[in-house]
Chain A
């Protein structure tokens, strides 16, 4: 039953992709059919996922479809279900958002069939990745997902930066796929590519296989230093696509990493240390870069790098818990990572959708062009605030749940760790998480404050109006989801418990998940009680305030009025001035470029300041690397002479040499 539902869902996405693709030019039909097919496919798939969560995992068995070693093996277990859940929920909501968000493009006469075709392929590809039970089928889903998202990034292909971003993304994703291919050839050396038959021929290969998986899947997930495509591709894509890519697509990298290291046997300690280190690096670098950005979606993309870092740290703690034999740390580390996977998919897509609404309303994503939007777009503003609070890991919203669990993992590691071995990762994780949390708070205070508070800094922001219902509905739904998941955090533990049980058993270190889960649940329940009382206190204060103000006259004045004769919007804090104390502190690491034209003379007439933080990884590593490679391979152009005769001659010579070698 579950499997049938999954197949129906996959076929719906296929149809939702193929029909608009063949009806190109019929934009009006696609604009209705595309989202409807997507939502229908998501609903059916969701039913299957929920059934599997209630009645246990299901497998289709392998159905051959002609390709060598390939089979149509589909199945769903707790790990698949956990990752398929956000894929389906978020995709459906973003499809709804797209109905309103894409209207200006459609009005400009852009053909929407292509967009909806690739959107459905993207969702189908992601679902296939999570439920595939054959490596070849997995790769098929992986590539469909990568290519569909590539074409979606390329949606606004008329602009040069968009084409550049899409190109970077395509190169990055295929370098990752190359590593995955190598990994599969190692795992499949037994002959079968069905997941039941995957194994390493030799235990000594495990290290290499782990590194391949980390690079291959880490590129999709966005671990530093493989993150360079995120801040390019996410801002370039339409906002509902960036919401799907940043909210759920990058999580398929985490899924792939976990799924395939399960085939590599018990993890040695250095795997956990590596993941912890990569997570820490991604988290700190991601949030620092986010802090120094002035462009809303680019900032959100860097913040995704940070959150992937938090997930990586949780997984690292979990693996180290297994390696050092600390069951509580193993459970809580994995649980924290999975909770953050679920939570991040909700609040990150919420933030991207809100950013899309802002862009539609104001025509810009530059923070320094915005301002005062809360008065003009109250629903979007409230939703963005909810997302910001959640992403900073503050109670009562859902970001808190995952981060608290990760903290708990670190603390239990320090408590139970024998000597320094288990305690050290805990100490590192606590320090890292605290640093990230503080910086994230600064980052999103900046984003919300500059964009929504104060006075508009541009005519576009001044004339902004609240967005269409189809865009507001997903925002409200996701905000409510943030709140509910935050308040009902302990219920989520029940959701991730079977996944952690499956992982730890798979690694040959069965953990009594029930005990640890109930421990975590009770802590989270206290947190929820605290949150509810805080909410109640705030409501009470609001009530008291309204009573106190009831019989007095209330006047409103422009923000930052402060008694100036004629306040100007340019007197306000800008994005870079707000972040300057912190970015200045980390200046040497960030390499922020400042461009200052000081006022001069007795009657200064012109002055200016701008700052720009380029990605150090791109500038100092990838650009030199690829330039060097280009120079190297240019030398090979000599043999690319373009003469068919000589090409054939070289083949003949090679064949003759081989024959002579074999027979001589």
Chain B
């Protein structure tokens, strides 16, 4: 099964780079959805010990939420705010790609320094999930549009999910569901917030919200 696992992990890395280099919001949402689906398939790919109902249910829940529900919410948000492009991001796309490469190499370096007590399914699972976390954080920091920031959070969460799957192997079901619920609420609230911000201010530039502080 390691082959499937490695394929998924490499695909995750590639999706990160697409996200870093793309300015079209619709495109970014689509890529994030695919990333969600691949992350959802991870537990199924790693389940060499047996294919239990629990793992299947978890995988399906993740795929449905991250692959279909979240993108729908985000798509609605950009449709209603009638914005399709990230304009003037804080960090340009080329620089972003370079930062992604840097993040990936930093992750590999970190993987060498960290020592995990458990036997890992794949040699690259830890660096890949670390680089996803960095990419997610980078997207949150470097993008101006609220939708892209939400996507950043999603990527960050995907990274956490992949890492926890790699390290803990047997993630308690309830904990996982809890994280999913959090994400769901977060995306939901942000979707609504983006919509409201847009309604009130005629834009969804989170930077300009700084005016609201007291």
Contact = CB atoms under 8 A, between A and B. Distances in A.
Interface residues of B, number: 18
Given A648-B137, A652-B137, A652-B141, A643 B207 contact: yes
Contacts, number: 36
A537 interface: no
Interface in B30-58: none
Interface string B195-207: 0000000000011
A663 interface: yes
Interface string B138-149: 001111100001
Contact of B90 (A640, A645, A663): A645
B149 A644 contact: yes
Contacts of A646: 141
Consensus secondary structure, chain A interface: helix
Consensus secondary structure, chain B interface: helix
B88 to A, nearest CB: 13
Given A642-B210, A643-B207, A648 B110 contact: no
A648 B149 CA distance: 11
Interface string A626-664: 000000000000001111111011001000000100010
Interface string A555-584: 000000000000000000000000000000
A642 B205 CA distance: 13
B110 A659 contact: yes
A11 B96 CA distance: 60
Nearest to A637: B213
A663 B206 contact: no
Contact of B141 (A641, A642, A648): A648
Contacts of A642: 209-213
A640 B213 CA distance: 8
Contacts of B212: 642
A384 B141 CA distance: 68
Interface residues of A, number: 12
Nearest to B143: A645
A550 B54 CA distance: 100
Contact of B110 (A641, A645, A663): A663
Given A652-B137, A659-B110, A644 B206 contact: yes
Contacts of B143: 645
28 contacts: A640-B213, A641-B210, A641-B213, A642-B209, A642-B210, A642-B211, A642-B212, A642-B213, A643-B206, A643-B209, A643-B210, A644-B140, A644-B149, A644-B206, A645-B90, A645-B140, A645-B141, A645-B144, A645-B149, A645-B207, A646-B141, A648-B137, A648-B141, A649-B141, A652-B137, A659-B110, A663-B113, A663-B114
Interface of A: 640-646, 648-649, 652, 659, 663
Interface of B: 90, 110, 113-114, 137, 140-144, 149, 206-207, 209-213
Given A645-B140, A648-B137, A663-B110, 15 more contacts: A642-B213, A643-B206, A644-B140, A644-B149, A644-B206, A645-B90, A645-B141, A645-B149, A645-B207, A646-B141, A649-B141, A652-B137, A652-B141, A659-B110, A663-B114
